[in-house]
Chains A and B, each alone.
Chain A
């Protein structure tokens, strides 16, 4: 026991130095009154919650995460399901395609999305070429565009946990369901889906956390008029040079994210207890 705890000490020291300490600095910074950084006050927090503009950005950001996560789940679950069902060779091809976004630089892949989504972009050429619309769709610098790109970019974070759970599912369970008279749909909704809930929750937590903090994607695709928390913090700190307010925003953002992730995690743990054989 003693030897164990001593082994942990260096790790704990590193953790304190590089993670806890900056947070403490951030917290202290946020309690300074103004740009001059004099005195102690809750002024920055009061300002945030009394300024509709500030907190509407937080709400927008949290909702953006929800939308991106839902779209990601909508496409990610079927992809994971196909991967789990595919033969070994197809499975590796599909998994490679899914993780491809992780393997390219954020900036590069975001710019290629700009090329796709723009007024003269690939997508609009296809849509107009097919005669689905007479005017180019507005996707770049809109939330729809941001959600689309986030969903694509975070796809691996959704697909991989679900795929892991699905491929560990006992195939006899689906067989048992079918032989008891259930069709494909009943088998899916009553057996496969509930048992893959732990993977869905894990995928949602990862996708959600990654989507709301995706500074580059949000900013490049969303443009200057769509402001989310990461950009807001950046503008306060670097643009307005108001470090205490930026620090307060960071703390508030962090805590709300922790609450969301905590709630999802609690649901996940419950479903896991239910699902364990």
Chain B
């Protein structure tokens, strides 16, 4: 079942301009059959535009879209065979749930008897079998989303496009639906693009994440790759939280921070001597040290945030900026007091990411 339904999707050098402004710029993306790729980026970075190009609602200014190995640029949305779940679901309000699901099948001229069977089958798939005669307005947000999914999967699309599908759901329901969508996606083996500006959603659901900024892709990688080895400062700051320290690159390799101390970084970092750089260290990659030792910074705790399983401390470096440091909470639940002087250092030189300062 999986292999036959999985279609490869390729974007080659896609650029799109609205008048004089460029909405997406030189996008290259190769998505394997059955893969789930998240497009992650801040508002206005061109995610929806890219989705509309893939579905055929707008024709890109430059570049090509390929499904498997055929160029689909000349095909209309109806001919491309994509399925879209819109952020507001866009169910037809004047039709029942069953009629909504049947709509695409009727448009594809399925025979009547087969439509009935298929609608029942699709509604069962999303556990909405008993709601077939309800109107969309009589459903909860999560139920509407299930119907929207059933409606677009019914016509067996080559590619499934989800535009911020969980944005309108509350937190618990969102998690349920994320699991549900992931299950359906795995089960059907359908190639999927998920648009989101929620990094947790991207990290938990996607096989790969494409982080976008101002119309272009900054990095494409697996969730752990994006999180652990971000290639740009933007990706580092956008995904997860991080501490950013300014300094200059020196022999070592190391970075002399603006407020004085020298911080050794991984041997893979290579910049010109004296180059202005920024060092990024994630809060959980910082460790408390018992005493002032080599390379540990002295700091004073200013805020304590016990966040369930871990505690986040805001600390002010002596003569320098503030940092966030996260530590698992021990069983006794003892917290470090505000105002205490502490010493901290990166877990390892490799935990420091270095980027050229802009």
Contact = CB atoms under 8 A, between A and B. Distances in A.
B117 interface: no
Interface string B225-245: 000000000000000000000
Interface stretch (A52-60, A89-97, A176-184, A229-237): A176-184
A2 interface: no
Interface residues of B, number: 24
B107 A191 contact: no
A179 B78 contact: yes
Interface string B85-117: 010101011100000000110011000000000
Contacts of A178: 57, 76-78
A180 B151 contact: yes
A64 to B, nearest CB: 32
B217 interface: no
A191 B82 CA distance: 20
Given A190-B103, A277-B136, A179 B82 contact: yes
B155 A180 contact: yes
Interface in A180-194: 180-183, 186, 190-191, 194
A191 B94 CA distance: 8
A50 B152 CA distance: 63
B103 A177 contact: yes
Given A180-B103, A186-B107, A173 B78 contact: no
B19 to A, nearest CB: 12
B84 interface: yes
A180 B94 contact: no
Interface in A255-277: 274-277
B55 interface: yes
B346 interface: no
A180 B88 contact: no
B137 interface: yes
Contacts of B152: 179-180
Interface residues of A, number: 21
Question: Which of A180, A181, A275, A277 has its CB near the most chain B CB atoms (within 10 A)?
Answer: A180
A177 to B, nearest CB: 7
B78 A175 contact: no
Interface in A116-160: none
Nearest to B136: A277
Contact of B88 (A170, A191, A274, A276): A170
A190 B202 CA distance: 36
A172 interface: yes
B215 interface: no
A190 B84 CA distance: 19
Contact of A179 (B77, B93, B94, B136): B77
B111 to A, nearest CB: 15
Q: Which of A172, A179, A191 has the most CB of B within 10 A?
A: A179
Contacts of A180: 78, 103-104, 107, 151-152, 155
The 9 closest A-B CB pairs, nearest first, are: A180-B104, A172-B90, A181-B107, A182-B107, A277-B93, A176-B90, A179-B77, A181-B78, A172-B86
Interface of A: 170, 172-173, 175-183, 186, 190-191, 194-195, 274-277
Given A175-B90, A181-B107, A190-B103, 20 more contacts: A172-B86, A173-B92, A175-B86, A176-B84, A176-B86, A176-B151, A177-B107, A178-B76, A178-B78, A179-B55, A179-B78, A180-B103, A182-B103, A183-B78, A186-B107, A274-B93, A274-B135, A276-B93, A277-B93, A277-B137
11 contacts: A175-B77, A175-B90, A179-B55, A180-B78, A180-B151, A180-B155, A181-B108, A183-B107, A190-B92, A190-B103, A277-B136
